[in-house]
């Protein structure tokens, strides 16, 4: 009997030893994996395995990063996404990283949830030659279909008329304008990518837009942050990450149907849109290293559709909220619209030069909306430096745009809505070097020219036809919700015909 007890005791102690050994091994492996050079940017003391995940509140991470910058300096480091992330703050340092040393930080890192959705395909998260091929092709194709030109301007003007008509149907009664705005904005990229627009009442189209909106919002959820740190564990557990993957699959199915329809009716001599051009390019390339395949067509189409819909919609949604919040600014914009355009014709891009105040308000909306405060993360392509710090190859960098758009060294009143930021002493429009809502450098937003056209034309069309005001008894709030984008909390508005 004593011998049995002794044996069991030995096995129990042996089990504890194994557990201790494994814990020490994991701890040492974590320390070795995340060791940094002596000249690496400072940051808080991270915990084993989870790093700084416990410090992060997904709903206000950009605010937290600003607070960390006050403590550790404008360049500091955190342990996120399973590795070291260098956070860069302020116009000077962000410009150094993205423009002056752009080649050193041009790559995208591996982000587990993004990879689960699209692999290494597409325009946003791909790297090296496939990225260069697809970015060059997309820019060329979008230009050919009128981005930045008069032909596309007419399509935006027409869509603006559909939008104002839909708003007028509410007869000044309280409403949430976001569904109509997202439908109008999406129809512009739809024409470029799919070759046609959708009616606002199309249930299938509205379902896709709702999925897209929800995916963008859920990107900021805690379970997504945990998934990006422990994908091998989280893929088996319920949470927002799995909801995102389910909704994303529905959007992929939608795009795949559109691609099949295009293949069945393709005329290479007369391309109708981006998908036609891509399919034609596929047929003309026979090199094995080409990135022109059906899988990449689906991914690139999704990137164009998603980015071309969500960001401009969110900017315009903020714009109406600011006009409600600052009625005196709205009235001054409308006075300029009345003087330059009048009420009998639709606004044109040619009017922008004669409308410095309206142009300044549009730019200030973009600055204060700060819709992508964290930017899209990059990765060091080689051992390099930034300011006085050493940045090893493979290090993720996060050049924050909110720190640029609210840089106290670059803006007179960085935390206030002030169109005077973009006006000189004579009341004429002036450009500002720290105005970087589309990021900068080699990865600058591919849709910048399109977004600028849409924001100006839709915004002026809306204020030409309507006065926007708060619903009686409902105080407008400038509070935000943070997902992949920073958007206003849902609000109702009265759009009263002028």
pLDDT, residue 14, reads: 66
* pLDDT for 10 beyond 70: no
Q: Are strands 493-497 and 466-470 parallel, antiparallel or unpaired?
A: antiparallel
Q: How far apart are the first and last CA of the chain?
A: 96
Cβ-contact 268, 283 below 8 angstroms: yes
DSSP lists the bridge partners of residue 399 as 88
Share of the chain above pLDDT 90, in %: 80
What are the tens digits of pLDDT across the range 194-239?
999 999 999 999 999 999 999 999 998 889 988 998 898 888 989 9
Cite the DSSP H helix spans in 291-326.
Answer: 294-325
Residue for token pair 């080409």: 290
DSSP letter string over 117-184? HHTT-SSSS--HHHHHHHHHHHHHHHHHTTTTSHHHHHHHHHHHHHHHHHHHTTTT--B--HHHHHHH
* pLDDT for 258 beyond 70: yes
Q: Give the CA distances from residue 166 to residues 80, 213, 221, 465, in Å, rounded to whole numbers and listed in that order.
A: 44, 20, 33, 12
Q: pTM above 0.95? A: no
What are the tens digits of pLDDT across the range 25-47?
555 555 556 667 789 999 998 88
Across 103-117, 181-195, 279-293, 481-495, least confident range: 279-293
Assign 147 a pLDDT band (cuts: 50, 70, 90). confident
* pLDDT for 11 beyond 50: yes
* pLDDT for 22 beyond 70: no
Overall average pLDDT of the 132-151 stretch: 89
Cβ-contact 163, 461 below 8 angstroms: yes
Q: Which of 468, 444, 442, 403 is nearest to 101 (CA)?
A: 442
pLDDT, residue 159, reads: 97
* pLDDT for 67 beyond 80: yes
Across 7-21, 139-153, 296-310, least confident range: 7-21
Assign 102 a pLDDT band (cuts: 50, 70, 90). very high
Across 28-32, 245-249, 419-423, least confident range: 28-32
* pLDDT for 15 beyond 70: no
Kindly give, in sequence order, each residue whose CB lies less than 8 Å from that of residue 314, ignoring residues fewer than 6 positions away. Answer: 369, 371, 485, 486, 487
How many CB atoms are located within 10 Å of the residue 143 CB? 13
Assign 290 a pLDDT band (cuts: 50, 70, 90). confident
* pLDDT for 487 beyond 90: yes
How far is Cα 117 from Cα 399, in angstroms, rounded to an integer?
A: 24
Kindly give, in sequence order, each residue whose CB lies less than 8 Å from that of residue 284, ignoring residues fewer than 6 positions away. Answer: none
How far is Cα 104 from Cα 125, in angstroms, rounded to an integer?
A: 16
Residue of 404 and 308 predicted with greater confidence: 404
Cβ-contact 315, 365 below 8 angstroms: yes
* Arithmetic mean of pLDDT over the chain: 91
What are the tens digits of pLDDT across the range 360-410?
999 999 999 999 999 999 999 999 999 989 999 999 999 999 999 999 999
Assign 489 a pLDDT band (cuts: 50, 70, 90). very high
Q: Give the CA distances from residue 419 to residues 172, 362, 458, in Å, rounded to whole numbers and listed in that order.
A: 27, 8, 18
How far is Cα 271 from Cα 44, in angstroms, rounded to an integer?
A: 54
Surface-to-core class of residue 173, CB atoms within 10 Å of its CB (0-12 exposed, 13-18 middle, 19+ buried): exposed
Q: Which of 112, 98, 377 is nearest to 224 (CA)?
A: 112
* pLDDT for 49 beyond 80: no
How many CB atoms are located within 10 Å of the residue 78 CB? 25
Assign 76 a pLDDT band (cuts: 50, 70, 90). very high
pLDDT, residue 7, reads: 47
Assign 287 a pLDDT band (cuts: 50, 70, 90). confident
Give me the phi and psi of 83, to 5 degrees please.
-160, -170
Give me the phi and psi of 386, to 5 degrees please.
-145, 120
**What are the tokens at 191?**
């024409």
């Amino acid at each position: 009997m004593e011998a049995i007890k002794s044996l069991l005791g030995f096995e129990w102690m042996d089990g504890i030893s194994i557990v201790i050994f494994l814990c020490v091994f994991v701890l040492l492996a974590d320390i070795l994996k995340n060791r940094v050079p002596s000249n690496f940017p400072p940051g808080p003391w991270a915990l084993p395995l989870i790093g700084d995940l416990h410090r992060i509140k997904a709903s206000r991470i950009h605010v937290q990063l600003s607070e960390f910058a006050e403590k550790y300096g404008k360049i500091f480091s955190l342990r996120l996404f399973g590795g070291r992330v260098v956070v860069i703050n302020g116009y000077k340092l962000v410009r150094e990283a993205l423009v002056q040393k752009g080649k050193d930080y041009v790559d995208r890192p591996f982000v587990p949830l993004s990879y689960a959705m699209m692999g290494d395909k597409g325009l946003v998260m791909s790297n090296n030659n496939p990225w260069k091929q697809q970015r060059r092709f997309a820019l060329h194709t979008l230009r050919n279909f009128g981005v930045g030109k008069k032909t596309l301007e007419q399509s935006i003007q027409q869509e603006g008329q559909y939008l104002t008509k839909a708003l007028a149907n509410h007869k000044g009664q309280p409403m949430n304008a976001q569904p109509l705005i997202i439908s109008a904005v999406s129809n512009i990229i739809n024409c470029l990518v799919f070759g046609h627009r959708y009616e606002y009442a199309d249930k299938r189209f509205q379902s896709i837009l709702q999925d897209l909106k929800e995916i963008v919002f859920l990107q900021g959820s805690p379970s997504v942050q945990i998934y990006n740190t422990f994908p091998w564990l989280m893929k088996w557990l319920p949470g927002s990450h799995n909801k995102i993957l389910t909704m994303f699959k529905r959007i992929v199915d939608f795009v795949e149907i559109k691609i099949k329809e295009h293949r069945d009716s393709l005329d290479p001599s007369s391309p109708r849109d981006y998908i036609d051009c891509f399919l034609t390019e596929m047929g003309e390339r026979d090199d094995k290293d080409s990135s022109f395949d059906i899988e990449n067509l689906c991914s690139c189409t999704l990137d164009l559709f998603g980015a071309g819909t969500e960001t401009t919609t969110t900017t315009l949604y903020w714009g109406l909220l600011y006009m409600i919040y600052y009625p005196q600014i709205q009235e001054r914009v409308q006075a300029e619209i009345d003087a330059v355009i009048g009420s009998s014709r639709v606004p044109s891009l040619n009017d922008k030069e004669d409308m410095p105040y309206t142009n300044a308000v549009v730019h200030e909306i973009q600055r204060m909306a700060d819709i992508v405060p964290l930017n899209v993360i990059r990765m060091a392509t080689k051992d390099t430096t930034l300011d006085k710090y050493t940045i090893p190859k493979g290090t993720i960098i996060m050049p924050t745009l909110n720190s640029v758009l609210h840089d106290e060294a670059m803006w007179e009143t960085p935390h206030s809505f002030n169109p005077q930021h973009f006006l000189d002493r004579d009341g004429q429009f002036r450009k500002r070097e720290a105005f970087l809502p589309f990021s900068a450098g080699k990865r600058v937003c591919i849709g910048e020219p399109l977004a600028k056209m849409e924001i100006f034309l839709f915004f002026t069309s809306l204020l030409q036809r309507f006065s926007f005001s708060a619903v009686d008894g409902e105080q407008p709030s400038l509070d935000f919700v943070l997902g992949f984008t920073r958007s206003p909390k849902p609000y109702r508005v009265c759009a009263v015909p002028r």
